[in-house]
Amino acid sequence: MIQTTDTIRRVTTADASKLDDLLNSAVEGLIPRAITLNHGIRVTRIGTGNYTTETTADVPCGYTIYEHQ
């Protein structure tokens, strides 16, 4: 499941086989907003099957970084 705000998408799933597709969809959906804001995208693993993707000025425009919390 993907929950969306203007600049943040939360991805949660118990099905590991769907995780990559959900994360890719979340990131792709944020790209237009990130470009408008001149931001990059951060993907953060919060827990098993629980991620956030967000636009952020801390990441250079055109880049996506992945981190664990």
Please give the model's pTM, rounded to 2 decimal places: 0.88
pLDDT of residue 2: 59
Residue 47, token pair as written in the block: 């827990």
Rounded to the nearest 5°, which phi and psi values hold at 54? -150, 150
pLDDT level of residue 1 (50, 70, 90 thresholds)? confident
Q: Among positive and negative, which fits the CA dihedral 33, 37, 38, 43? A: negative
Residue 36, token pair as written in the block: 């408008």
User: What is the C-alpha separation between 37 and 1, in angstroms, rounded?
Assistant: 25
pLDDT level of residue 9 (50, 70, 90 thresholds)? very high
pLDDT digits (tens, 9 = 90+) for 10-31: 999 999 999 999 999 999 999 9
Residues contacting residue 64 through CB under 8 Å, at least 6 positions apart: 27, 40, 41, 42, 43
pLDDT level of residue 7 (50, 70, 90 thresholds)? confident
